Amino acid sequence: MSLLDTVAPDNTNAHTVLELRLPQDTFLHGTVVIVVVVVVLVVVVVVVVVVVVVVVVVVVVVVVVVEVVVVEVVVAAAAATSTAALVVVVIVVCYVISEHCL
């Protein structure tokens, strides 16, 4: 017993029945495969985009926080240095004035 005998035992409409059944099954199977592949690709793309966005946000936050801390430290150091330099200049000027002018 062959496939043709099961589909059309008298062999009259064998090709017609097979042509009607196979493309529908193939189309349905192909559609399901395409939909599954598209859904998987969309999920992968969304996951990748979310991971990239999270990494970028974390990097930006770290850079901003570190930059703010670094800028504050540099400004504080510069202020301390310039204040110390100003104090030294004032002391030297006062010493020079007191020694040579008074």
**Which tens digits make up the pLDDT trace of 3-62?**
544 555 555 555 554 454 545 555 556 677 778 888 888 888 888 888 888 888 888 787
Q: What is the pLDDT of residues 26-41, one digit of tens each?
A: 555 667 777 888 888 8
Residue type, 44: V
Q: How far apart are CA 33 and CA 48, in angstroms?
A: 22
Segments making up each domain of the chain, as ranges:
3-100
| pTM over 0.85, yes/no | no
Burial of 17 (0-12, 13-18, 19+ CB in 10 A): middle
